[in-house]
Amino acid sequence: MANSLKINVFLIPEDGQRFTFSEGDAWFKSCFQAVEVPDFYLDKVDVDCLITKSSGTIFIKGTFSAFIDICCSRCLEDTKLTIGSDFAYTLVPAKAETAGELELRPEELEISYYQGDFIDLTTIICEQIILQIPIKVLCREECKGLCQQCGANLNTSACDCTTESLDSRLGVLKNFVIKK
State the pLDDT at residue 163.
65
Q: pLDDT digit of tens for each residue in the chain (180 aa)?
A: 344 688 888 888 888 999 999 999 888 888 888 778 888 999 999 999 999 998 888 999 999 999 999 999 999 999 999 999 999 999 888 775 545 556 666 656 667 888 888 888 888 899 999 999 999 999 999 999 998 888 889 999 888 887 665 667 777 777 788 887
Query: Has this prediction a pTM greater than 0.85?
Result: no
State the pLDDT at residue 1.
39
Closest CA to 51 of 128, 107, 124: 124
CA atoms within 13 A on the CB side of 163: 2
Helix residue spans in 21-162 (DSSP H): 25-29, 121-131
Closest CA to 63 of 42, 90, 84: 84
State the pLDDT at residue 83.
94
Q: Write phi, then psi, for 139 (nearest 5 degrees).
A: -65, -35
List of residues 6+ apart from 7 with CB closer than 8 A: 17, 19, 51, 118, 119, 120, 121
Helix (H) or strand (E) holding 169: none
State the pLDDT at residue 51.
93
Q: Please give the Cα distance from 144 to 72 (Å, whole number).
A: 11
**pLDDT of 127-177, one tens digit each?**
999 999 999 999 999 999 998 888 889 999 888 887 665 667 777 777 788
Q: Where are the beta strands (DSSP E) in the chain?
A: 6-8, 17-23, 41-54, 57-71, 78-93, 111-114, 118-120
